[in-house]
Amino acid sequence: MVAYCASKFALVGLSEGMRTELAKDGIAVTTVCPGFIHSGVVDHAIVKGQQRKEFAWFSIGDSLPLLSASAEKVARATIAG
């Protein structure tokens, strides 16, 4: 899960840097880090480390409606936000 967490952390860091640099120009930056999205990535993921455990985690997260959302729902919520 390190790569997944690192990508979210990098996204937040990039956004914070952009927010600081662009504030002088009146440009706002919003960061969106959704959780699991029904995206089909599970079928194409390259899992390293504890392969069975990590694959199981992503598979469960991708398939449970309470833990994940459709891409359309995430897009609507992002735009509304």
What is the mean predicted confidence (pLDDT) over 34-52? Answer: 69
Check pLDDT > 70 for residue 14.
yes
Task: Write the DSSP assignment of 7-73 as a string of letters.
Answer: HHHHHHHHHHHHHHHHGGGT---------EEE-SGGGT----SSHHHHHHHHHHHHH-TTTEEEHHH
Check pLDDT > 70 for residue 6.
yes
At 24 the pLDDT is: 97
What is the mean predicted confidence (pLDDT) over 50-79? Answer: 74
At 70 the pLDDT is: 82
At 60 the pLDDT is: 64
What is the mean predicted confidence (pLDDT) over 46-61? Answer: 67
